[in-house]
Amino acid sequence: MRAIEESLWQQGYQYVIGVDEVGRGPLAGPVVAAAVFVPPDIELLGVRDSKSMTPRRRVAVFKEIIRSCSAAVGAATAAEIDRLNILNATLLAMERAVRALGVSPDFCLVDGRQIIPGLTIPQQAVVKGDAQCLSIAAASIVAKVVRDRFMIDCHQAFPQYGFDKHKGYPTAEHRRALEEYGPCPIHRQTFGKAG
């Protein structure tokens, strides 16, 4: 999973980071992005696309990433998603994550089809990057764990929606709660609208 990074290291880039996001599809909560630099001498075992891991395994790998790598997160709130649209809010969260890193990256690998417009460093979009690029997979794990924890915290404030179970995604249970209680402050008002 390091072929892309190794190619960039051979070209002279030192701080190659991966960026990924979680939370584009939910009805509630922020979109959260993470940026991760995995040093060349660090061996991360069990890192793969966060969606293919159990929650317990994700948390264990998350702790290892935080201990041995440089990692940062950025988010865009539900209000920012409503104002900017989900794509632009996602790119903003990604930019915030990169800018929050403790190291100054010289190359950025971005999961998906788009690079981050607010950055001036060289970038490459990698489709399904979380399945083929170690640093992007690590970023997907960090973003997922951080967002899930945030949504579990939101469950304490708004228990009627079941955020601890579905994390804001549009499950039948979540839709029923929305019909019964209406939206709360972390719900996205523009979900499903073109933007």
Q: What is the CATH number of the domain that holds 96?
A: 3.30.420.10
- In this prediction, residue 195 carries a pLDDT of 36
Asked whether residue 190 is domain-assigned, the answer is no
**Residue 150 domain boundaries:** 3-181
Number of domains in the chain: 1
Between 8-12, 49-53, 186-190, the lowest mean confidence (pLDDT) is in 49-53
Amino acid at 135: S
Distance, CA of 163 to CA of 39 (rounded, Å): 35
Mean pLDDT of the chain: 93
Asked whether residue 104 is domain-assigned, the answer is yes
Residue with tokens 């979680």: 22
- Residue 192: pLDDT band (50, 70, 90) is low
- Residue 191: pLDDT band (50, 70, 90) is low
- In this prediction, residue 45 carries a pLDDT of 81
Between 36-45, 105-114, 154-163, the lowest mean confidence (pLDDT) is in 36-45
Taking CA atoms, 116 is separated from 10, 111, 144, 158, 183, in Å, by 23, 10, 19, 33, 31
DSSP run (H or E) holding 176: helix 172-181
Please say whether the beta carbons of 188 and 28 come within 8 A.
Answer: yes
Is residue 50's pLDDT more than 80?
no
Asked whether residue 68 is domain-assigned, the answer is yes
- In this prediction, residue 133 carries a pLDDT of 94
